[in-house]
Amino acid sequence: MSWTVDLLIRGGTVVTPEATFAADLAVRDGKIVAVGTLPEPPQARQVVDASGLQVLPGMVDPHVHIHWPFLAATSRDNFYTGTRAAALGGTTTIIDYAIQRECHPQEAFEQRRKEVEGQAAVDYALTQVLAEHSDRTLDAIPQLMAQGVTAFKCYLIYRKRGIMVDDAMLLEVLRRLREHGGLLTVHAENAAIAEYWEARYVREGKKDARYFVQAKGNVVEAECINRAVYLACFVGANLYIRHISTREGTEVVGRARQAGHRIYGETCSHYLALTDEVYGRTDGFKFICSPPIKSAADREALWAGLRSGELSAIGADHVAFDLAQKLEGKEAFDQVPNGLPGIETRFPVAYTEGVARGRLSLNRLVEVMSTNPAKLFGLYPRKGALLPGSDADVVLVDPSAERVLTATDLHMDVDWTPYEGMRLRGFPKVVVARGEVLVQDGIFLGRPGRGEFLKAGLPVHC
């Protein structure tokens, strides 16, 4: 009996969280229809030779901010250029934000959908930022969940930006989400302590980037994570801590998980690759992001946390400010728009620093960069898996290929990269998204608007 498929990825080494095995992968109508040694290979309209290559599920980035405002600046990219860069770095699904700004959350959600419409080159889901303590905000939660937004975010800092919520609101959101089953994600930094030290350093004329990381020392993150985790455990809600940068924060999450709570920790590629030494450089202001990058000991604790299961995911926390925007704050750390461009480099950086340096198995890397984000954000097993019935989102990596990174070779609408000059592995040779070859040998073959909005389901515990 002969059978026909649209695409056959032949002779590669499939890597999943559970196993590594030689397999062919057959795709029809954008879905995976078979994975394994196929005794009767199908007729295929298109064949990709994967011999010598690692075949991974498309990466899922749980944390990106495309075209995002901070202070007076708005980051440079749009949903086409941002998602094109994502694809070139092996990411086939992004989870971005809709942000409530003095409006009904429903309105913020619809506005963001309109902004993405016709632009996204990869599939996307949205997390709703809840920034106002009001009944209209809390009552919008079930309504948004019915429309496929099951993850929410509260900022526990950024009082002056008008998006910070207090502990009463945090507890209230956790209670509502306990009731409806969604996922709360938080930016956990203690506002009072950070604001006090920032103001004090600025007043004393201590304005270079080194004082930024001193103002936001480990206690700022650790105390806030501890508080948010305590409240979530008390209520019994799902809580996901964004961008953990410290050993202490990792330990708090690990203890709660050990006790059986549904608490999840995310770290980001920059905390895994860099150390706070960057703030002592003459261009240290470029690296200002929140939370700031911490010590080498913290960095190793984050890797250990990823190995042990204390941490569950790696995000980019991508914000693409270019040098001119960053230079606005050259004289004072509190004037620098926060954030680093990373949507394109998240996977190669983690692959290089993790797998190539022996800190993490490739199976676990796949789990924390694809499978777990898909599970926690309600997209699994459509995303984050190479199973029959999953979307055919596939990344092919040549494990021996290496390149020296330079900003001009990247595609993120910015003129710099935090990883300039680093020798990186893990840039994909081929990227397939819903059965379509989107990237071939570093060339982007997609188009704006092909990415679809993903209606998320409830988080799956992992």
CB of 228 to Zn ion, least distance (A): 15
CB of 349 to Zn ion, least distance (A): 17
| Contacts to Zn ion from residues 23-42, by CB under 5 A | none
Judged by beta carbon, residue 221 or residue 391, the one nearer Zn ion is 221
Judged by beta carbon, residue 189 or residue 317, the one nearer Zn ion is 317
CB of 65 to Zn ion, least distance (A): 6
Judged by beta carbon, residue 24 or residue 317, the one nearer Zn ion is 317
CB of 63 to Zn ion, least distance (A): 6
| Contacts to Zn ion from residues 309-328, by CB under 5 A | 317
Judged by beta carbon, residue 25 or residue 273, the one nearer Zn ion is 273
Judged by beta carbon, residue 79 or residue 201, the one nearer Zn ion is 79
Distance CA 34, CA 401 (A): 28
Judged by beta carbon, residue 155 or residue 211, the one nearer Zn ion is 155
Distance CA 275, CA 281 (A): 12
Judged by beta carbon, residue 61 or residue 310, the one nearer Zn ion is 61
CB of 354 to Zn ion, least distance (A): 21
Judged by beta carbon, residue 317 or residue 322, the one nearer Zn ion is 317
| Contacts to Zn ion from residues 258-317, by CB under 5 A | 317
Instruction: Report which residue's Cβ sits closest to Zn ion.
Output: 317
344 is a contact residue toward Zn ion (CB under 5 A) = no
CB of 54 to Zn ion, least distance (A): 29
CB of 340 to Zn ion, least distance (A): 10
Judged by beta carbon, residue 240 or residue 427, the one nearer Zn ion is 240
Q: Binding residues for Zn ion, how many (CB under 5 A)?
A: 1
CB of 268 to Zn ion, least distance (A): 8
CB of 315 to Zn ion, least distance (A): 8
Residues in touch with Zn ion (CB under 5 A): 317
